[in-house]
Structure 1
Amino acid sequence: MNIHHLLHQRDMLLRQARLANVAYAYQRLGEFAARISRARLCGAVAICPGDPAGEQPWPGMAALEGSQAVIEEHFLDEELVELTDILAFLGEDVRTDRLTLRLEDLADRYLPRLRAELLAAGVTPANTLPASEDSSSRLERP
């Protein structure tokens, strides 16, 4: 492969990389939302950026309503790092600011926008919640 050919393909490769990241974010956020739904987690939480020089160098989630122990029981540190990375990809400033959201609103807040982008690109996303948990019609079926 020569450099001219590679440069010619650059735009297409960037579009495909973005689309792959959108698909990954859609899938993983759907999995997080399904877990939240199964465990009947609800209430406001704050996703806090990590402090590399402090006690917790990785992002964390603090319960603003309900029990912090329940949050810690359902989300590993690695998963919170991944969630923070996904939210940063979606334009949330979670690396420097605290993001407040309701757990039960995670799917409604992010999945429709991701689904729309996938559909616009000709990709039919799979439903992210099992049918028994999707009775509220949060996600449209293709």
Structure 2
Amino acid sequence: MKISKLIATHHAIIQQARLANLAQAYITLRRCAERVHRARLCGLVNLRQPDAAEGRMWASLTALEGSQSVIEEHFCDEELMEFADAMAFARGIELLDITFRIEALMPEFVHPLEAQLKQAGVDFDLEGESPAIHGDSFHSPVSDHRRGGTPK
């Protein structure tokens, strides 16, 4: 392969990678929002990415209103990591630390991502199904393993 060809395709490759990351963030946040809706979760929450400098090795989702145990019932550690990473990418924030109403996840975070993808000409061919994308642990309404537990 010639360097001139690589340089000529550089922009298209970068754009394609950005769209792929945007699509992954959209799917992750949509599944999370659907889970929140099914469980009728509501209230103010704080979502934070891991920060080794602060001794926080896992993402955290803290209920600022309502019950923390109800939040923990619905999300395991790995799912929170994916959730926090998707939110950070969607918002363009490094070391995410964001407070929001969990019931507003769909209109405030998922719908704007959907609009960006549609504007870029992305076809939503997974609409009617719950897509099982490799590496995405948001595959069931309630995870088989809980925070601090051991996966089966």
Superposition deviation, residue 70 in structure 1:
1.0
Q: Distance in 1 between matches of 2:18 and 2:118?
A: 14
Aligned to 1:105: 104
Q: Separation in 1 of the partners of 2:63 and 2:25?
A: 23
Distance 1:128 1:29 in 2: 16
Q: Which residue of 2 aligns with 1:75?
A: 75
Give deviations 1:86-129, integer Å, cap 9, x for gaps.
11112253616x31111110010112221111111211324489
TM-score, structure 1 as length reference = 0.80
- In 2, Cα distance between equivalents of 1:122 and 1:79: 29
Q: Aligned partner of 2:107: which letter?
A: D
AA aligned to 2:113 is L
Structure 2 residue runs without a partner (length 5+): 131-152
Determine the structure 1 residue equivalent to 2:115.
Answer: 116
- Tell me the alpha carbon deviations over residues 14-71 of structure 1, each in whole angstroms, 9 at most, x when there is no partner: 1111111111111111100111111111111111343425553122011111111111
Kindly provide the amino acid, as one letter, of the partner of residue 105 in structure 1.
Answer: A
1:116 is matched by which residue type in structure 2? A
Alignment pair present for 1:29 and 2:23: no
- For 2:9 and 2:40, how far apart are their aligned partners in 1? 46
Superposition misfits of 4+ residues, deviation over 3 angstroms? 53-56, 126-130
Counterpart secondary structure, 1:90: helix
Relative distance call for 1:14 and 1:128 in structure 2 (3 A) is farther
Gaps of 5+ in 1: 131-142
The amino acid across from 1:108 in the alignment is P
The percentage of aligned residue pairs carrying the same residue is: 43
Tell me the distance in 2 between the aligned counterparts of 1:129 and 1:40.
Answer: 21
Structure-2 separation of matches of 1:28 and 1:49: 15
Alignment of 1:1-142 (within 5 A): 1-53=1-53, 56-91=56-91, 93=93, 95=95, 98-125=97-124, 126-127=126-127
